[in-house]
Structure 1
Amino acid sequence: MAQDSLSCSVTLSPRQGLLRIPLRGIFQGAKVVRGPDWEWGSQDGGEGKPGRVVDIRGWDVETGRSVASVTWADGTTNVYRVGHKGKVDLKCIGEAAGGFYYKEHLPRLGKPAELQRRVSADGQPFQRGDKVKCLLDIDVLRDMEEGHGGWNPRMAEFIGQTGTVHRITDRGDVRVQFNHETRWTFHPGALTKHNSFWVGDVVRVIDDLDTVKQLQAGHGEWTDDMAPALGRIGKVVKVFGDGNLRVAVGGQRWTFSPSCLVAYRPEEDTNLDVAERARENKSSLSVALDKLRAQKSDPEHPGRLVVEAALGNVARALDLLRRHPEQVDTKNQGRTALQVASYLGQVELVRLLLQARAGVDLLDDEGHTALHYAALGNQPEAARMLLSAGCGADALNGARSTALHLAVQRGFLEVVRILCERGCDVNLPDAHANTPLHSAISAGAGANGIVEVLTEVPGINVAAADSQGFTLLHHASLKGHALAVRRILARARQLVDAKKEDGFTALHLAALNNHREVAQILIQEGRCDVNVRNRKLQSPLHLAVQQAHVGLVPLLVDAGCSVDTEDEEGDTALHVALQRHQLLPLVADRAGGDPGPLQLLSRLQASGLPGSSELTVGAAVACFLALEGADVTYSNHRGRSPLDLATESRVLKALQGCAQRFRERQAGGGGSAVPGPRHVLSTPNTVTNLHVAATAGPEAAECLVCSELALLVLFSPCQHRTVCEECARRMKKCIRCQVVINKKLRPDGSEVASATPAPGPPRQLVEELQSRYRQMEERITCPICIDSHIRLVFQCGHGACAPCGAALSACPICRQPIRDRIQIFV
């Protein structure tokens, strides 16, 4: 059991000479079956089916060895409790070794004299600046992220990559920075510290004094003698076992926490985001200015003009310019007087220096010009004067950023306005292919004014994409920036359905990240395609359901998002709802005032279903989808329907009740469900579903027999709509459920009469039936050999006979790689 911050300690004697006993049980490699507290349905493949433990860890910071990752015979991996909250989901049937213990050395607890209360000094397992990696399988990480930042499919891209700990949340979760704009929140148990420095590496000590003092606590500590090393370049000469580093800097050797060091590169460290770089630059400038102001050099020193600029002494600076005009561009601390005056907003001094022909485009050590300095210092008037003097408006610094980039990143609206009015290029990308508008969107609602200014520039390219393929509309949808989405759509509505390389559109990104307002704008103002699918064939509804974004589900369904669209696994949104979030309670405070969740709950309650306290998120969303016409018998590529996945009897009963209410509503039977919008549901693309989904109203759909688009007939008592009127006349049983048909009803409620046998079929009818038969024969004939019937179906929905299908690596129809082969028997 893990020790909390107020647990008791016991003083022990040395254990020399005591017997060491092997420890065996549920450890890595152990063979297990479901245990006494199992409540996970058939995740293990069925009772008695064994699995193997692949990892043991703590569920959170406060508990250790409380959950186990188990891989079952079907290859699936999930996390189970082995002590978490007092529950044990597993039973050991094959022990594994787990180290050793010393029986005679274990203390006898319960004696007050032996107990002392103490506070744990261990602190957090991670600190800001630590280099970390996630080395877990995707399935394990997905389960661990529930309740700890949540799972996003894009997190899979960063498994195995090194990131930097940005901060520790109040709950103990770890916020990790991977590049200049990507951060993910991880369960602390999912991360492993990574030592990114080794002996011989060249590093730079960060120059923020207060930060270094904090980071050095417990890691080599801090002394004032170390101050000269700040901001300096050094070399790692030793790596200690605890991760601390011995660094040689300027002839001295100091022990530093790795958090105090960054890899030395000519360009900026790509693991630091825009805000981090902004703080670092500002700190560097502040240190440089302090050093300039503290200089006691000779008044005739060549760099004295820069000192006077830092002090704001216009009269002395003017005197120096008159006596030594040749020193106008002399540098001190790597900067010219014009750069310092521009940063400080010394407008009169800037004017004097420009009159003295100061170099407006001279660079400092980081590639900054005077205009960059005006942007860094939020000095719009200085920027205006420099631009009027003919400085390079689009000069790039060492990080390939213009002055406009810097002003946008720091939120300096007036500087941005001046730069845009004077013709700065708003489309130039920085080192990460970000335009200024990308950076403004990343800053959130606080930069709305800047977004307005940038999007009003006539020549702005709203189709620009960054290094990750995000256009400005994608980026705004990802960040939930409603104003930017609205402004971009006003300029180029044709971008609304543009796809990234992975097939994601703006609506996919809004649905994935629960940006309801953005989704509304894309649907209502952008008139986007709500049924667009990404490369994994997921619709926005799939993603909203997968992430348990309850408020988005009614919005997407009401906008016409098909409830029976398949993803690449053949799963509909209803399958996804029942596979995810089974343990997340749908409590009232999840609504948080958002009308979406309240709308979903009110529709369920109006249908007489259990209240929010009795349903989980997955069950509630599933019931809502069933009320809106989702097919509860729709089979995925594994042959499993939503009814098969609803393992709890309460959920199964509620799901069946919702489906019945939908059928009653369609048949005009009155039902208590709240009327919803009409949907034309998609046709299955696999032969595992021998039907088309029922349409919600008298709208054309494909007849299963003749494949013609027509108004389908409602069969009674089974309530299925599968064929057109012409085909229905000759049918005695429903081809979907094989129930005897009592009535055949048209959409207007009138009854279809059964066909009376004719003395002999007319020639035209015979030829038509023969033609239909040939079409049906072609559908079930192997497209390769054209001899045998299809017996194997691929995940894409196409198929082949067994001999031909076994030898294929790609589908001969659509060329998709073949991952699964489903054998059918028809």
Structure 2
Amino acid sequence: MESGAGYQRVPPSFFITLWSLFIFSTSSSEGGGCSGTHLHADTHQMNSGLMMKQLFSPHGSKRVSAVTPDLFPETTLLPSLPAIPSPRTSSAAQQLRRRRSSVGYAASKPLPLGSACRRGPHRGSMEVGMRVVRGLDWKWGNQDDGEGHVGTVVEIGRQGSTTTPDKTVVVQWDSGTRTNYRTGYQGAFDLLLYDNAQIGVRHSNIICDSCKKHGIMGMRWKCKVCFDYDLCTQCYMNNKHDLSHPFERYETAHSQPVSLTPRQNLPRIILKGIFQGVKVVRGPDWDWGNQDGGEGKVGKVVDIRGWDTESGRSVASVTWSNGTTNVYRMGHKGKVDLKYVSDGQGGFYYKDHLPKLGEHAELQRQESADGHSFQQGDKVKCLLEVDILRQMQEGHGGWNPKMAEYICRIGTVHRITDRGDVRVQYSNNIRWTFHPGALTKVNTFGVGELVRVLDEVETVKRLQAGHGEWTDSMTPVLGQVGKVLKVYADGDLRVAFGGQTWTFNPACLSAQPVDVDANLMTTENPNESGSTVISVLEKLLSQSTEQDNPCRLVIEAAHGSAVKVRELVQKHPDKVDIKNQGKTALQVAAHQGHMEVVKALLQANCSVEVKDEDGDTALHYAAFGNQAEIARLLLSKGANVNLLNNSMCTALHIAVNKGFTDVVRVLTEHSADVNLQDSYGDTPLHDAIAKDFRSIIEMLVVVPSIDFTQQNHRGFNLLHHAALKGNKLATEKILARARQLVDVKKDDGFSALHLAALNNHRDVAEVLVKEGRCDINVRNNRNQTALQLAVTQGHTELVQLLVDEGADVNMEDEDGDTAMHVALLRPQLANVMLSPAVGTGATEDNSEGCSPTTLHGRLSSSGLLGNGELSVGTAIACFLAQEGADINYANHKGKSPLDLLADSGALQLIKSFSEKHRLQRLQAITCGQGLSSASLRRVHTTPNTMTNLVLPTPPGPSECLICSELALLVLFCPCQHSVACEECAHRMKKCIKCQVTITKKIRQDQTEVDCSPGTENSEQHNLLEQLQSRYRQMEERITCPICIDNHIKLVFQCGHASCIECSAALKTCPICRQTIRERIQLFV
């Protein structure tokens, strides 16, 4: 190869080939091979260890492919697939052993380095290593060892192959069986994809909202109802989140979503195969010598893990009987090193929600839509966002902006069209045609069925509108189980809860299985229904037993018969804690408030710590029955105030959830732990905030030992929870005691201000900004500010508040989008018209004039609007332009906000507001007014509310944000901010408000500040530094070297010195270590 001109670069593959040939020749001559190389935790890298193993056998021979016909002369792989025969049970491991005994390992041609039979993307995104289960077209008996067993794709069919034709794959089942199956061949799909984390599928910036793992491996499951809620496969299959919510499935980070039906009432199948704790032996791809101790030796799987960041859940850590532990491939690079001796369980899966292996996602999306079975008369509702619904409506009845008004409203299926679309009729006789995948069937209930009410106050309030309405008296029944008494013609239900009955929207209810124990505080929420306790008491009251029967004690306690209770405990003193219907006499009497009975039982030495089958003690029962004095008595007799029941609830949790203020007061007076968490991680104050029990909130926040940083299992501390629920009182009280929490973030980066902005809690946001002095530009993990989140949801009042309080209108998120980009990108903001009355588009235009405080009013005052209608998105964009947003700001795709507009009228309007803002700035400068701090949005270091308009005020001194002195401020160009005096601004290179580089600094008399380092300035600066240095030297000479605080007052004979206080305890000099014989006092 010649140097200089004409040099031709050698491809890297040439050196890789040379390297592999060198290693091959070395190992062949030495006969050593690479048997010692394995996937140890201390190996150099996966590529160095695994590549060597794949290149050579344990005996130093050439590497062979585990699926080539040369290796399997008696293979079960079929020569063709016109008709797949009946079960094939020949074990691949047995064939491998037969092959080894006959022809050895050198028969196969080496494959390219790192191939491992992996060919990259295939039809329907198939790749070797994927984990699969049997599918809907399965007809091969128990070749997989039964329904629910998992296997690994180890080879993908190709054109012209006689063993594995196109549209088929070879699967290695965890049981050891290996054969081929249809993935589109003859139109059949034998397999479902369970997991693709083994091929490296990762959603890098997505966090599972249940297990909190960052970067979901494998398929992603996104809720279509809740904002930005994602689950990993394991959490989705383990019933995390609301089962009535429909989800979307993302097979990869770049695939289109597939809409799914809600998981509620769908069958789940137990997943079986090689999982943690399973006993295994070496499998078909084993080439690790005798690491297992020899053929047939058994090991135990310690865990299933990923290989670094390359793949997930693709290797198994196994401890063998000889004590060695290593990791082995279970899908990594399409290899399977193990098979089980007996299977183990690895969770569950919804068969109806897994994708067919080999089928394109487009077809699966169509099938998911076609899979909805609706009938005439069914109650349905649409839970999708506007932009998703609009896309789905294409070709399925079309889209009309008025359809957005019917999202979340319940309608009745009128008929099914010839194309399978659903015609839905609403109460006002309006009918719309919907894509079937856009609809969710509303639960229908019958008289006598048990139902549970949602526990989210705001959700129930919203759903109750027009369905029996909402009253605060309904709060105690939230989350409780009731019984349906009547079904009205419009679908609403009359539900009984103990002695109360309420009318509910069926959307507020979920079915409660009859066989589930709905006793007091035993299910997932501590505010459980008391109806079952009452029913138990009714049974006790109606029982007729013998007078001397000890079980009679519980019955008499329920009746409140103190005399009979005393008689029975005297006759049966050892039966004082006997149970009837699972309850003790003390528990029943405590719940009912029978004080004399409780005293009689306590005098008879009954135990106050006895629990029922749900872990509830008498104190829990007193709390649930709102019996404050009974609780006080029990506590005086030694009842444990912090005892937990099976749901991890204390009596305080129950009293708070029921809103029983007197009981809460008694418990807190007896030092109840206010920081204990229930099964959801909620403290009592979390519950009080959610239920908005104001008196209880005020009572709990003043407890000295309360920990405001406690997070529940969703990652919300108490301030986050208050912001999420829109609880202004709780926010104020928490900030008064723990203002340091104001900018604390959750795992996803959301602060309290983010939560308030996203959920349109303006009052809470105002408290956080003005009283909490939060960072108004704080970002979440996606670099979104509170302003951007408020814009996303079209919360116009919050947008105005945040901008008025100084939010940066030009900050960008992870995509480079500013708030104006977001306003013009969101389709739902373009489809809702701005109402002059409130500025949100939520109500009819019923006012002639516009309030100057509304968004519409503020825009109208500019005189630029005219009489045309304005969408919420365009109105927000105009407002942001008026407040200084950059209309030419390019995002990461190179698009400015104006590039996103197709409406020329809206584009011109936004330009007009931007131009007006520019002219106002220039006018203030040219008129000699400058830009005082009154022309800026509010700066959070001052308590005064500023105006957004540039007002021609006389020039005067203002507070400098650096030195806080009153002075004439300097104007920075090009950002037009005036925040610092001339002395502080002299050395500033960037504006401290917007971080824009300063090109010019202008005084209020329109002269420019000279920022060049002149000779005079340099000399003064050097002189100042010299003086400062001399001062520091003088200070060091007279300062005690021990405490570095007091002046030197004593000198030792060695010449070193200290202050009087430090020398008192000294026997030796701390500097030279000489014994101190003399102390000479100085007088300075």
Alignment of 1:140-289 (within 5 A): 140=388, 147=405, 210-211=483-484, 260-261=513-514, 273-275=525-527, 278-279=528-529, 282-289=530-537
* 342 and 426 in structure 1: CA distance in 2 versus 1, 3 angstrom threshold: same
* C-alpha distance after superposition, 1:102-151 (max 9, x if no partner): xxxxxxxxxxxxxxxxxx9714148xxxxx9x9x999737988965679x
Match of 1:578 among 824, 831, 834: 824
Give distance in 1, aligned partners of 2:884 and 2:736.
35
Match of 2:770 among 514, 521, 524: 524
1:473 is the counterpart of 2:719: yes
Alignment of 1:316-715 (within 5 A): 316-444=564-692, 447-580=693-826, 581-591=829-839, 598-610=853-865, 614-668=869-923, 677-678=936-937, 694-699=974-979, 709=989
Q: State whether residues 476 and 482 of structure 1, in contact with CA within 8 Å, keep that contact through their aligned partners in structure 2.
A: yes
- Residue 415 of structure 1 aligns to a residue whose secondary structure is helix
Q: State whether residues 542 and 572 of structure 1, in contact with CA within 8 Å, keep that contact through their aligned partners in structure 2.
A: yes
* C-alpha distance after superposition, 1:227-278 (max 9, x if no partner): xxxxxxxxxxxxxxxxxxxxxxxxxxxxxx97544668999887x5455xx1
* C-alpha distance after superposition, 1:333-357 (max 9, x if no partner): 1111110000000111111111111
Give distance in 1, aligned partners of 2:458 and 2:670.
32
Q: State whether residues 820 and 897 of structure 2, in contact with CA within 8 Å, keep that contact through their aligned partners in structure 1.
A: yes
Give distance in 2, aligned partners of 1:268 and 1:529.
41
Residue 691 of structure 2 aligns to which amino acid in structure 1?
A
Q: State whether residues 700 and 709 of structure 1, in contact with CA within 8 Å, keep that contact through their aligned partners in structure 2.
A: no
Residue 539 of structure 1 aligns to which amino acid in structure 2?
T
Q: CA deviation at 1:602?
A: 2.4
Q: State whether residues 504 and 533 of structure 1, in contact with CA within 8 Å, keep that contact through their aligned partners in structure 2.
A: yes
Give distance in 1, aligned partners of 2:918 and 2:881.
10
Alignment of 1:81-100 (within 5 A): none
TM-score (norm 1): 0.55
* Equivalent residue number for residue 321 of structure 2: none
- Residue 664 of structure 1 aligns to a residue whose secondary structure is helix
Q: CA deviation at 1:650?
A: 1.6
Residue 989 of structure 2 aligns to which amino acid in structure 1?
L
Give distance in 2, aligned partners of 1:439 and 1:612.
48
Q: CA deviation at 1:393?
A: 0.8
Give distance in 1, aligned partners of 2:912 and 2:878.
9
Q: CA deviation at 1:599?
A: 3.5
Give distance in 2, aligned partners of 1:97 and 1:499.
37
Give distance in 2, aligned partners of 1:512 and 1:414.
35
- Residue 211 of structure 1 aligns to a residue whose secondary structure is strand
* C-alpha distance after superposition, 1:535-560 (max 9, x if no partner): 10001100010110100011111111
* 341 and 273 in structure 1: CA distance in 2 versus 1, 3 angstrom threshold: closer
Q: State whether residues 148 and 186 of structure 1, in contact with CA within 8 Å, keep that contact through their aligned partners in structure 2.
A: no
How many pairs are equivalent?
523
Residue 720 of structure 2 aligns to which amino acid in structure 1?
H
Q: State whether residues 898 and 907 of structure 2, in contact with CA within 8 Å, keep that contact through their aligned partners in structure 1.
A: yes
Residue 414 of structure 1 aligns to which amino acid in structure 2?
D
* 427 and 621 in structure 1: CA distance in 2 versus 1, 3 angstrom threshold: same
Q: CA deviation at 1:574?
A: 0.8
Give distance in 1, aligned partners of 2:385 and 2:877.
28
Give distance in 2, aligned partners of 1:415 and 1:763.
75
Give distance in 2, aligned partners of 1:372 and 1:404.
8
Q: CA deviation at 1:576?
A: 0.6
Give distance in 1, aligned partners of 2:363 and 2:754.
46
Q: CA deviation at 1:179?
A: 9.3
Q: CA deviation at 1:725?
A: 3.7
Match of 1:311 among 519, 537, 559: 559
Residue 598 of structure 1 aligns to which amino acid in structure 2?
T
Q: State whether residues 588 and 612 of structure 1, in contact with CA within 8 Å, keep that contact through their aligned partners in structure 2.
A: no
- Provide structure 2 residue ranges, at least 5 long, that are not aligned to the other structure: 1-223, 225-253, 260-361, 368-374, 393-402, 409-439, 445-450, 464-478, 492-509, 844-849, 927-933, 941-971, 1016-1084
- Residue 603 of structure 1 aligns to a residue whose secondary structure is helix
Q: CA deviation at 1:458?
A: 1.1
- Residue 426 of structure 1 aligns to a residue whose secondary structure is coil
* C-alpha distance after superposition, 1:432-473 (max 9, x if no partner): 1111001111112xx000101111111111111111111100
- Residue 523 of structure 1 aligns to a residue whose secondary structure is helix
Give distance in 2, aligned partners of 1:208 and 1:424.
28
Could you say what the CA RMSD is over the residues aligned between the two structures, in angstroms?
5.0
* Equivalent residue number for residue 999 of structure 2: 724
- Residue 830 of structure 2 aligns to a residue whose secondary structure is coil
Give distance in 1, aligned partners of 2:714 and 2:406.
26
Give distance in 1, aligned partners of 2:757 and 2:630.
44
What is the aligned-residue identity percentage? 41
* 490 and 348 in structure 1: CA distance in 2 versus 1, 3 angstrom threshold: same
Give distance in 1, aligned partners of 2:823 and 2:365.
39
Q: State whether residues 482 and 517 of structure 1, in contact with CA within 8 Å, keep that contact through their aligned partners in structure 2.
A: yes
